[in-house]
Amino acid sequence: MSNFKTISPEELQKNPFHLIGKEWMLIAASKGDKTNAMTASWGGVGIMWNKPVAYIAIRQTRYTKEFVDASDKLSLNFFGENFRKELAYFGKVSGRDEDKIAKTGMKVSVNDDAPVFDDAETVLVCRKLFAQRYDENSFVDKSLLDTYYGKESQHTFYIVEIEKVLVK
Ligand SMILES: Cc1cc2nc3c(=O)[nH]c(=O)nc-3n(C[C@H](O)[C@H](O)[C@H](O)COP(=O)(O)O)c2cc1C
């Protein structure tokens, strides 16, 4: 188990545009005794239903989606510039084909029922609040459909409550 300290979401110093868009994150969730994770760079943080929340979008085809759908809890793990190679791997290979966590040798601990990467610098421990598959009819800018969903599967949009922020 890593040496994290817990801070409140308001105390988070990092810019979320940089954190999510540039550093990327590992979305991790567990199903039974198995854990899987995938890299993501789309999402956000904010306030919804008077709660601190994060938003993520996961395509139907991702193995991680099965884990996220099976559990109430998940974690968003940020590593700074470290582990870029590992994050590229987690974003290219599917957990259906390889045990990505075992292959990278990265250690995962359980924190409040969510899998947390020991090597992360910042972790958002989250609880699912809302999940909805994007509906074609809801796109105001229809060009997004061609650009992002021509051949690829649709996303499901998740809003998750940030229950805990862990930092090193
Ligand atoms: C930088 C980067 C960002 C990504 N962002 C997302 C994302 O936001 N949502 C998504 O569904 N897939 C995203 N992916 C693709 C998944 O990480 C990739 O398909 C992964 O292999 C899925 O693994 P899994 O099948 O084990 O879940 C991203 C990949 C990379 C490299």
pLDDT of residue 151: 76
C-alpha closest to that of 76 among 133, 123, 17: 123
Residues within a 6 A CB radius of ligand 1? 24, 36, 38-42, 57-59, 62-64, 88, 91-96
Return the SS3 of 1.
coil
Nearest residue (by CA) to ligand 1, atom 31, is 91
Domain map of the chain by residue range? 10-167
pLDDT tens profile 131-146: 999 999 999 999 999 9
CA of 59 to the centre of ligand 1 (A): 8
Nearest residue (by CA) to ligand 1, atom 28, is 40
> Locate tokens 């884990």: which residue?
67
> Does pTM top 0.85 for this prediction?
yes
Please enumerate in sequence order all residues whose Cβ is within 8 A of that of 49, keeping only pairs 6 or more positions apart, or say none.
129
CATH code, 10-167? 2.30.110.10
pLDDT tens profile 76-105: 999 998 899 999 999 999 999 999 999 999
